[in-house]
Each structure stands twice: as structure tokens, then as C-alpha cells.
């Protein structure tokens, strides 16, 4: 099996690539390295530095002819989507359509598309959100990610292109960049380990569904199985954890001694969200296996080791 992974040099995408390589798959990575890093690339994967909006993408598909497309590449910043909505749409919508056109022309069998469970639902009507929950995003990022879900449905009806949408929760773990557009775990780790001030946006009582990156990578492997029906699947642990609770757990793990500072809340961010992943459990036997406390401890140790290498 040959799979083409967009965003395969990024935080989550690189873990997904590693899983496919471990299974003996032929893996092709397309990444423009705008947020990804060469250090994340698996040496057994074929790498192309390219933008998913580029006409050159067709040449890559024509040469490699993958059977599976795993689409992680995205403009992933909620804040940037609010301030630069045209760029957000160009990358997340037009770039994705470019990929789908290439995929159908070379006969790709299935697309695994990464959407956002934290952004597409907007402010929840009920919790946990299942896939039947109304989709009412309150930021441009959520709207652009959801738009592609409609295109996937059309491409299946019109061209027979199979798909699985994975709506991610808040994913954390090793390789997340604390200096870029990162989740709160990576940001806190980077700040705490060097003793910098930690800033919490808003009051810190906003809740998210935190899932370890390794668990999400496994879901991408399971979603490639032919017996998994086309459709949309939430990933999540089904419960919310506040940013204040994340801060306290990481403070203990790092030995950080300073109180947090509080800044303004971010525009366009949902107050409280967590996801029902029962459909993924039933269809592909997926559920998170890494406890939050253990996952945070593992993440802290990764960042501690990375810091030691920079200092040495």
C-alpha cells in the first residue's frame, strides 16, 4: 500500500507517517515546511517540499500514484484565520480541492481528511458533541475545515472517491512546536522548563478534550481499513479538562514555581467542548489509551530532552 501524507513533517502528521512506515507501507510526504520541520521526517518516507495549492502537486501524484491520501496539511491557526480569512480559505479549501482533483485523476481509493472537532461545532448545544451535533463554527478556521467535508461527500457521490473524516480534539504530545502555532500543552512546557512567565488566555476555565498524539496516529491507521465505512468520525476522550487543570498538572511535572498570568480571551474560540467518539469505537475499535496525566508527563520529558540538546 502506498499512502501520500500531506503535512507529514508536522507535529501530528509525522507521527502518522511513523505509524504507516512501521506497518511496512510505502509513504510519500508532501509538506511546504511552513510549520513542519525536516527533523520530524521519517527517513524511510519519500519527501516532496511542495505547497498543496501548487500546480506541481499533479506531477507528484502522477509519479507516485498513491492508493491512499492522508490530508493533514492546513492553515491551523484560529487566530490567523480570523485576521487573514482569505489565506485560510486558500489553503484549507482551495488547497484541499487541488488535492481531491489529483486524487480522483490517479485513482486514489480513499481519502483520510483531518477536520476539527474543536472548531466545526461552535458553541455546543449539548455535550459531549457527537457527529449529529449541529455544525455552527464561530471562526473562519472551523468554517473552512467543514467546507471540505462537503466536497468529500460530493466527490464520493460523483466519482466514487471513498473518504473518512477524523474530527480531532485538542491533540498534544512530542514534536509539537511551542514557538509556533501550538496547543496550550506545548506552550506551557516551553515556558515552564525555562522559567518564563506562563500566560493563560481568559480565566482558564475554558475546557477542551485533550488526546495524546499517539492515539490519534493509531486512528489514522485504523481509518485506512477497507471495512471502515465512509463518513465522519469524532476522536476524543468524551470529557473536558480546563486550561487551569492542565497548568496545575504540568506545574507539578516540571517543578515550575511561579503563578500564571492571565491575558485576554482569544476571539473566535469556543468556551467549552468535548467529543463523543462512540462512532469511531464502533466502526474501527478506536478509543484513547493514554491517560492525560501520563501523556502530559511523557510530553514534558520530551521537551526537557529537547531543551537539554539545545543547551549542550
Residues with active-site annotation: 141
- Give the integer Cα–Cα distance in Å for 297 and 253: 6
DSSP-derived secondary structure letter, 94? I
Spatial distance between the Cα atoms of 70 and 5, rounded to a whole number of angstroms: 5
Kindly provide the residue ranges of all beta strands, DSSP E only, lying in 129-222, ordered along the sequence.
162-168, 170-172, 199-201, 207-208, 210-212
Distance of CA 21 to the CA centre of its chain: 19
Residue 41: CB partners within 8 Å, gap ≥ 6? 8, 9, 14, 17, 29, 47
CB atoms within 10 A of CB 83: 12
Residues 218, 210: Cα–Cα separation, whole Å: 16
Cα–Cα distance, 159 to 214 (Å, whole number): 33
Amino acid at each position: 500500500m502506498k499512502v501520500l501524507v500531506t503535512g507529514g513533517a508536522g507535529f501530528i502528521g509525522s507521527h502518522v507517517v511513523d505509524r504507516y512506515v512501521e506497518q511496512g507501507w510505502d509513504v510519500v510526504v508532501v509538506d511546504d515546511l511552513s510549520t513542519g520541520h525536516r527533523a520530524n521526517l521519517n527517513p524511510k518516507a519519500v519527501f516532496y517540499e511542495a505547497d498543496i495549492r501548487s500546480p506541481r502537486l499533479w506531477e507528484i501524484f502522477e509519479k507516485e500514484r498513491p492508493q491512499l491520501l492522508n490530508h493533514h496539511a492546513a492553515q491551523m491557526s484560529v487566530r490567523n484565520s480570523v485576521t487573514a480569512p482569505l489565506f485560510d480559505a486558500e489553503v484549507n479549501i482551495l488547497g484541499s480541492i487541488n488535492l481531491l482533483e489529483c486524487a480522483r485523476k490517479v485513482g486514489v481509493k480513499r481519502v483520510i481528511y483531518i477536520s476539527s472537532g474543536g472548531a466545526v461545532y461552535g458553541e455546543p448545544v449539548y455535550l459531549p458533541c457527537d457527529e449529529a451535533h449541529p455544525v455552527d463554527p464561530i471562526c473562519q478556521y472551523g468554517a473552512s475545515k467543514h467546507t471540505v467535508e462537503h466536497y468529500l461527500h460530493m466527490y464520493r457521490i460523483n466519482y466514487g472517491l471513498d473518504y473518512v473524516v477524523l474530527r480531532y480534539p485538542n491533540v498534544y504530545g512530542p514534536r509539537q512546536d511551542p514557538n509556533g502555532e501550538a496547543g496550550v500543552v506545548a506552550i506551557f512546557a516551553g515556558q515552564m522548563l525555562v522559567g518564563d512567565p506562563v500566560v493563560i488566555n481568559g480565566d482558564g476555565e475554558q475546557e477542551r478534550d485533550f488526546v495524546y498524539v499517539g492515539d490519534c496516529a493509531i486512528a489514522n491507521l485504523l481509518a485506512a481499513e477497507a471495512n471502515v465505512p465512509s463518513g465522519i468520525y469524532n476522536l476524543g476522550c468524551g470529557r473536558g479538562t480546563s486550561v487551569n487543570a492542565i497548568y496545575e498538572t504540568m506545574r507539578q511535572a516540571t517543578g515550575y514555581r511561579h503563578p500564571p498570568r492571565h491575558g485576554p480571551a482569544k476571539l473566535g474560540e469556543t468556551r467549552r467542548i468535548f467529543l463523543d467518539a462512540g462512532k469511531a469505537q464502533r466502526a474501527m475499535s478506536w478509543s484513547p489509551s493514554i491517560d492525560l496525566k501520563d501523556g502530559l508527563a511523557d510530553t514534558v520529558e520530551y521537551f526537557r530532552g529537547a531543551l537539554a540538546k539545545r543547551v549542550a
